[in-house]
Amino acid sequence: MSHGDSLVPPRDHPFRLAAHSADRTPGASKESASIELPRLRLRLNELQDLLYADRRFALLVVLQGIDTAGKDGTIKSVFQEVGPLGCSVASFGVPTEEELAHDYLWRYHLATPGRGKFGIFNRSHYESVLVERVHGLAPAERLKQRYDEINHFEATLAAEGTVIMKFFLHISRDEQRGRLQERVDNPHKRWKFREGDLDERKHWAEYETAFEEMVSRCNTVVAPWHVVPADHKWYRDLAVARALVERLEGLDLRYPEPPAGIQGRVVE
Ligand code: AMP
Ligand code: MG
* Sequence letter at residue 156: T
Average pLDDT, the chain: 96
> Which runs of consecutive H residues, i.e. helices, occur in 16-79?
30-54, 71-78
80-91 tens-digit pLDDT = 999 899 999 999
pLDDT for res 258:
87
Q: At what angle do helices 30-54 and 233-249 cross, to 10 degrees?
A: 30
Q: How far apart are CA 109 and CA 156, in angstroms?
A: 11
11-24 tens-digit pLDDT = 999 999 999 999 99
CA of 31 to the centre of ligand 2 (A): 30
Please identify, by atom number, the ligand 1 atom nearest to the C-alpha of residue 135: 21
3-class SS shares of the chain: helix, strand, coil, % to 5: 50, 10, 40
CA of 230 to the centre of ligand 2 (A): 16
- For residue 170, pLDDT over 90 is answered with yes
Q: What is the mean pLDDT of residues 211-238?
A: 98
pLDDT for res 1:
42
Element (H, E) at 210: helix 204-218
Nearest CA to ligand 1 atom 4: 93
- For residue 194, pLDDT over 80 is answered with yes
pLDDT for res 6:
80
| Percentage with pLDDT > 90 across the chain | 94
CB under 8 Å to 177, separation ≥6 — which residues? none
pLDDT for res 4:
45
pLDDT bin (cut points 50, 70, 90) of residue 238 is very high
pLDDT bin (cut points 50, 70, 90) of residue 263 is confident
Ligand 1 pocket by C-beta < 6 Å: which residues? 92-95, 123, 127-128, 131-132, 137
pLDDT for res 164:
98
Nearest CA to ligand 1 atom 11: 93
Please identify, by atom number, the ligand 1 atom nearest to the C-alpha of residue 194: 3
Q: What is the mean pLDDT of residues 101-106?
A: 98
Name the residue with higher pLDDT: 5 or 99. Answer: 99
Q: How far apart are CA 203 and CA 212, in angstroms?
A: 14
230 and 20 Cβ atoms separated by less than 8 Å:
no
Q: In what order do the strands lie in the sheet with 225-229?
A: 87-91, 118-122, 58-64, 162-170, 225-229
2-12 tens-digit pLDDT = 444 589 999 99
Ligand lying nearest the CA atom of residue 207: 1
Q: How far apart are CA 192 and CA 179, in angstroms?
A: 11
- For residue 68, pLDDT over 80 is answered with yes
